Amino acid sequence: MFNSIGNILRLTSFGESHGKAIGGIIDGIPSEIKLDFDAIQNQLDRRKPGQSAIVTQRKESDTVQFLSGIFEEKTTGHSIGFIIPNEDQKSKDYEHNTTSYRPSHADFVYDKKFGIRDHRGGGRSSARETANWVVAGSLAKHIIPEIKVYSFVSQVGNISIEKNISELDFSAIDSNDVRCPDKVTAEKMIEYIKKIKKEGDTVGGIITCVVKNVPLGLGEPIFHKLHSELGKAMLSINACHGFEYGSGFEGIKMKGTEHNDLFNADGSTKSNHSGGIQGGISNGMDIVFRVAFKPVATIIQNQKTIDSKGNLTEIMGKGRHDPCVVPRAVPIVDALTYFVLADMFLLDKARKK
């Protein structure tokens, strides 16, 4: 399998949901960068399970242990190795699907592709892997400290923020369990997720990301367009089913005369339908994109399925699962955004030497 992401900045990850640990190796981080370990751990704490009533109750401290590439709290320029021990596996919760395939999970395709699968929490397909990405993104953030990434939940089911982005207070993102910066909407989302959880069902949502202080010129004009790199990263997140930037799909309703971002004298644009990216390259405006997540596939209700021999059977989800993935996906979107932008920054820097 392909377990790496990035070009100059590169993460190679390993581990399974119910193994001893997950972890990775990060190459390409410049030397002599002073690291803020508390900030790195804080991002892991934002992603970890068990932090509120509307997420999975699996208890993991998600404490990262760095093994190499750091000396006296600074990067050495060599490979940074790290692990995150798994502490609260309950593999018995998955004994019911040893031979049966959970609908809309990776069980069936993994088994057919590799001839073997780890049924405990999905093994390598588990969202537990994303903790590795948060470590990588938190390290990448140190390379581009002037860039600020703000991801937040903008929609859960049919409940969405009605305010414009310019009206939102990003400092309020972590003021509630759902990570929505609009208090009234957040309360509606939380109550809806609790209702869905009580029914043994799940619901999807949208995370909006706004990136400020982006320098002009990040991204390549052909196969490493900035929006394609961001899209690839976001679509790698478990349960992600869609990515759009700028006007996105709504742009098809507009005429060119309405959609074009006209220039101001200083090179900025009067509107930002391009989402801060033109021709695959950042134009200095805020980067704005949205990531859509499907309802979590594990539901606590009986579903018809098949087993490994093709027999029709039934299955019901057990164990601890998120009724809605978006609250915990916010720091993952943050991290991958920082990782992609840092990678594109290093690529652009290498060309200009």
Task: Supply the pLDDT for residue 300.
Answer: 85
Task: Supply the pLDDT for residue 319.
Answer: 64
Task: Supply the pLDDT for residue 90.
Answer: 59
Task: Supply the pLDDT for residue 175.
Answer: 96
CA dihedral 160, 333, 337, 181 (to 10 degrees): 40
* pTM of the predicted model over 0.75: yes
Low-confidence ranges of the chain (pLDDT < 50): none
The C-alpha angle 271, 241, 221, rounded to 5 degrees, equals 50
The C-alpha angle 193, 54, 133, rounded to 5 degrees, equals 115
The C-alpha angle 221, 263, 344, rounded to 5 degrees, equals 30
Among all chains, which residue has been given the structure tokens 């590439």?
Answer: 69
Which of 231, 205, 219 shows the shortest CA–CA distance to 342? 219
Can you name the CATH fold of 4-352? Answer: Chorismate synthase, AroC fold (3.60.150)
Which of 140, 143, 138, 141 shows the shortest CA–CA distance to 10? 140
Q: Residue 157 has which token pair?
A: 């089911």
What is the number of other CB atoms lying within 10 angstroms of the CB of residue 74? 13
| CB contact set of 163 (below 8 Å; sequence gap of 6+) | 182
Give the integer Cα–Cα distance in Å for 339 and 82: 16
Give the integer Cα–Cα distance in Å for 275 and 116: 42
Task: Supply the pLDDT for residue 338.
Answer: 98
Residue 23 contacts residue 14 (beta carbons within 8 Å): yes
CB neighbour class for 255 (10 Å; exposed up to 12, middle 13-18, buried from 19): exposed
Task: Supply the pLDDT for residue 61.
Answer: 82
CB neighbour class for 171 (10 Å; exposed up to 12, middle 13-18, buried from 19): exposed
Which of 209, 216, 217 shows the shortest CA–CA distance to 244? 209
Domain range list for the chain: 4-352
